[in-house]
Amino acid sequence: MRVFRWKAIVPLVLLGAVGAGLWLLFADRIAQHTTESVGTTLIGARVEIDRLHLDVPHGRVEIRGLTVASPFEALRNLLQADLLVADLEPLPLLEKKVVIDRLAATGLRFGTPRLTDGRTAEQSDGLKGQITKWGEQLRVPALQLATGKVSVAQLDPTQLNTPRLATALAGRADSARQAWEAGLTGLGTEAALDSGARMVERLKGAKLTDVKLLGDARRTLEQLKRAQERVTALERSVTSGISALQADAAGLTDAKQRDYAIARGLLKLPGLDAPDIGAALFGSAAVDRFQRALYWVQLGRRYMPPGLLPRATPGPRRIRRAGTTVHFPRVNEAPAFLLKTAELSLSVASRTYAARVSGVTSDPTLYGRPAQASGTAPGFRLAALLDHVRPTPRDTAAASLVGVALPSLPLPSLPMHLEPGAGTVGLSFAMQGDQLRARFGREHGVTRDEDEAQKIVADVIVDRLGKLGLGALLFRLELVTQLRVLPIEHGTSSQHVDRPALGDGHQPGAGVVRHARLRPLLQRRDERVLREILGQTDVAHDARESGDQFRGLDSPDCVDRAVGVGSRGRHGFQSHHDHASRQARR
Amino acid sequence: MLLLKLIQSFFKTLHSEGTPGQVAAGLVLGSILGLTPFLSLHNVVVVGLIVILNVSIPGAMLGWALCIPAGFLLDPLFDAIGRGLLLGAPALRPLWTALYNAPVAPLSGFNNTVVLGSLVSSLALGVPLFFAARWGVTRYRATVAERLKRSALYRAVTASKLYNLYRLFRPEP
């Protein structure tokens, strides 16, 4: 019996030829579909391609009309690109590996609107769900303004410390004054001085042998000496008494703070120190940015893990069960995916942007260099480094953009909103292992140095991230702010409250609280509740007034805290940033 | 219609001119096609073997058709087997690593748990299946074939209008 069916050779070859022909016909479409599917899985949002062309002889892939939806916003794209051209190394393709020597992208646009929701449905225990839960654990204090009323029943004056202490202080001051007046009256210095003056006159014509006169002169000197001693004693008594009274007066400040705390509690007011206001107003925005940054970093860690151990990933989508695909990296072999260099160039609103990405790989340990990204444009800077070469991954990123119109911020419970104006937005993010340090800042006004900048800075330090929200988090949110808020005119009379130290009144100001319905009242320049809340007593009354006409809120400890937080954040990032710079220079 | 086609294919296979060994070999190769995910590189080889080796093509078609639903049903088992081989057997890791970094081999998708599990399972099942099928075909032809041809069921199926209609539109090649 024959083993081979030789007659079938020709049909088999024909079948192979037909298969090859079909592949040539549909390879572009298959590659496009695969790219869309893989990209959608990787990013967590739809990736759409108008046309993909495989230029196999030249090892080139051209992608036209790339659209990547935002994984965070329903009707917004993360980016769109007119054309992407990738130069591939052909040999790794035989090992099912993709090594891109160079990727050039043109016509990039970011944040464009889209008609449909491009986010992919994800289970709540997915990465996005975990990060959402993580963000929810970052408790941003709510700003609740003046939601209560002060009534006699609520505010018992007898419970206040300040009046009692002030009354006692006034009593002691009166007693001291009376004692000092009595002591001054009882000094008898006038008689001693008169006696001394007369003795001087007598001594002018006296003889040296007049013993009686010398005795009188000695007694007069003794009298003057005793008078001087009484004056000195009185002076000491007055000095010590004044010191005691000054100490008591200083104690009144603490008592007033305690009383204000009591009053605020009755009013259901928040802690109105500047950091609290910053946290309430900008904490959510900061956490949102941190969540996004964390999402990308976690994606990077998921698909760019350190080490050379076998790595399991979900299998390809198909009718049958997808299963798990296991990757077996080996030293001195090519990574499963490697993008050596990407040059991105785009123009937006007459601005030219240039960005560069390098070292993006599925096996950083094999490649041996961290992934880097940098972008520059007028007023814009971006730098990121994902170092997964070593067992403990380190991810840092920083970006700043000047001239950003900061959005209007409504003040809860009040028909007002804060208009910070245009300024600079900065974000830094550093994550080493499971420790995260992030910083989100907004500066507005003409910044020449740190003292002149008005900053709204949020620092987040997460001491143990665990598995993204799984397990206990030791979390600390710090927000430091120097807000300048104009007062809102109010119908009540001026009532000064103890305020934090005022900042330099000559600094420019941009923070404005406006009240649409009460604008006429604003023009009456009455003292307002908000001014009292914010502790401002010497402020301008309209946003149009020059900056040196009002003084901003400057909490006594704000500078220290700002410096402290800033330095921590700055140092935390600086070291990484320096590392990134060093890496970039290599 | 699919059932009729299967029955037709089944009887055509049993009554074909091929030897029981050829029919059994075709069944085994067809079962590999059916049990493993179809769009895999190894199935190109299997199809090539079916065409170039002197095995029963109807047998392969029958094995494929019968094993497709079995493949879907057994996917969880294949997944577990593949996982055990790829991740649970450190002794095999050098082999997988070498294959993964060799040309062409990764294109087969061997590093997918379902692909590897189903391929290994179908190969393992192939040997007993071959002998069982060969014995079954031999026994069938020796004892049942002629009686079945005379059976009421066979005649009813082949004489049915539906079957004739099917043959009208899908004539035998």
Q: Per the domain annotation, does A190 fall within a domain?
A: yes
Q: Which residues of A touch B114 (CB under 8 A)?
A: 315, 320-323
Residue of B nearest to A335 (CA): B101
Average pLDDT over residues B93-105: 93
- Rounded to whole angstroms, the Cα distance separating A443 from A423 reads 5
Cβ–Cβ below 8 Å for B106 and A333: no
pLDDT at A28: 93
Written as six digits, the tokens of A506 are 């000559």
CB contact under 8 A, B87 and A9: no
Which of A313-317, A383-387, A399-403, A471-475 is modeled with the greatest confidence?
A383-387
- Give the CA count within 13 Å in the CB-facing half-sphere of A569: 27
CB contact under 8 A, B52 and A5: yes
CA distance A249 to B68: 92
As beta bridge partners, residue A25 has none
* Predicted structure pTM score: 0.61
- Mutate: best of A320, A330, A337, partner B, most B CBs <10 A: A320
Same-domain pairing of A456 and A586: yes
CB of B53 within 8 Å of a chain A CB? The answer is yes
Give chain A positions within 8 Å (CB) of B39. Answer: 318
Which B residues, 146 through 165, put their C-beta within 8 Å of a C-beta on chain A?
A: none
B91/A contact by beta carbon, under 8 A: no
A380, A401, A429: which is the final residue of a domain?
A: A380
Average pLDDT over residues A261-290: 64
The DSSP H or E segment spanning A434 is none
The strands making up A416-419's β-sheet, listed across from edge to edge, are A409-411, A416-419, A512-514
Contacts of B33 in chain A (CB under 8 A): none
CB atoms within 10 A of CB A31: 16
DSSP state, B63? H
Query: How far out from the chain centre does Cα A575 lie?
Result: 18
pLDDT confidence of residue A541? 35
Interface contact flag, A315 B104, Cβ < 8 Å: no
Q: Is A310 in contact with B86 (Cβ distance < 8 A)?
A: yes
From chain A, the residues in CB contact with B93 under 8 A are: 310, 328
DSSP of A91-155, one letter per residue?
A: HHHHTT-EEEEEEEEES-EES-B-SS--BPP--TTSHHHHHHHHHHHS-PPP---S-S---TTT-
What is the 3-state secondary structure of B5-47?
Answer: HHHHHHHHHHCCCCCHHHHHHHHHHHHHHHHCCCCCHHHHHHH
Quick check: B107 and A321 CB within 8 A? no
Whether residues A375 and A425 fall in one domain: no
Q: Which domain holds residue A460?
A: 393-586
Residues of chain A whose beta carbon is less than 8 angstroms from a beta carbon of chain B are 1-5, 8-9, 11-12, 15, 94-97, 310, 312, 315-316, 318, 320-328, 330, 333
pLDDT digits (tens, 9 = 90+) for A306-320: 888 888 988 888 889
pLDDT for A328 equals: 93
Q: Which among A4, A318, A326 is the nearest to B37, CB-wise?
A: A318
**Cβ contacts (< 8 Å) between B24 and chain A: which residues?**
none
Q: SS3 of A32, please?
A: helix
Give SS3 for A514: strand
Residues A354 and A403 both lie in one domain: no
Interatomic CA distance for residues A417 and A404, integer angstroms: 18
How many helices (H) and strands (E) chain A has is answered by 11, 19
Phi, psi of A85 (to 5 degrees): -125, 120
Of B87, B97, B106, the CB nearest to A95: B106
Residues 6+ apart with CB under 8 A from B68: B34
Query: Any CB–CB contact under 8 A between B37 and chain A?
Result: yes
Residues A419 and A552 in one domain: yes
For residue A143, the model assigns a pLDDT of: 56
B142 interfaces chain A, CB cutoff of 8 Å: no
pLDDT confidence of residue A554: 30
CA atoms within 13 A on the CB side of B113: 27
Chain A to chain B, count of Cβ pairs less than 8 Å apart?
94
Segments in A447-491 forming alpha helices (H): none
Q: Can you tell me the distance from the alpha carbon of B170 to that of B163, in angstroms, rounded to the nearest whole number?
A: 10
pLDDT band at A22 (very low <50, low <70, confident <90, very high): very high
pLDDT at A118: 87
**pLDDT at A111 > cutoff 60:** yes
**Cβ contacts (< 8 Å) between A315 and chain B: which residues?**
112-114
Residues A311 and A240 in one domain: no
- The domains of chain B are located at 2-169
Find the helix packing angle between B2-14 and B152-159, rounded to 10°. 120
Please check whether residue A37 lies inside any domain of the structure. yes
B88 inside 8 A of chain A by CB:
no
Whether A367 and A413 share a structural domain = no
Q: Up-side HSE of residue B67: CA atoms within 13 Å toward CB?
A: 26
Residue A21 lies in a domain: no
Answer whether residue A534 shows pLDDT above 60. Answer: no
Answer whether B58 touches A (CB < 8 Å): no
Q: What percent of chain A has pLDDT over 70?
A: 64
pLDDT at B1: 54
> HEC profile for B127-147?
HHHHHHHHHHHHHHHHHHHHH
Domain presence at residue A65: yes
Long-range contacts, stretch A66-69, CB < 8 angstroms, 24+ apart: A67/A114, A68/A39, A68/A43, A69/A45, A69/A114, A69/A117, A69/A118, A69/A119
Looking at residue A420, what is its pLDDT? 63
To which H or E segment does residue A453 belong?
Answer: none
CA distance A233 to A238: 9
Q: Where are the alpha helices (DSSP H) in A317-430?
A: 364-367
Per-residue confidence (pLDDT) for residue B70, from 0 to 100: 94
* For residue A356, pLDDT beyond 70: yes
Give how many domains chain A has, as a whole number: 3
Residues in chain A, overall count: 586
State the nearest Cα–Cα gap between B153 and chain A, in angstroms: 35
Higher pLDDT, A72 or A584: A72
Summarize pLDDT for B152-162 with one digit per residue, the tens: 877 777 777 76
* Greater model confidence, B96 or A424: B96
Model confidence pLDDT, tens digit, residues A485-522: 322 223 233 333 333 332 333 333 322 333 333 333 33
Is residue B48 within 8 angstroms of chain A, CB to CB?
yes
Asked if residue A282 has pLDDT above 70, the reply is no
Q: In whole angstroms, what is the distance from residue B145 CA to residue A323 CA?
A: 42
The answer as to whether A293 is a domain residue is: no
pLDDT at residue A86, rounded to an integer? 95
| DSSP code of residue A285 | H
8 Å CB contact of A3 and B53 = yes
Tokens 């790339």 belong to residue: A66
ipTM of this predicted structure = 0.81
Q: Is A403 domain-assigned?
A: yes
**In this complex, which of A1, A315, A333 lies closest to B101 when CB atoms are compared?**
A333
**Residue A4: DSSP 8-state:** B
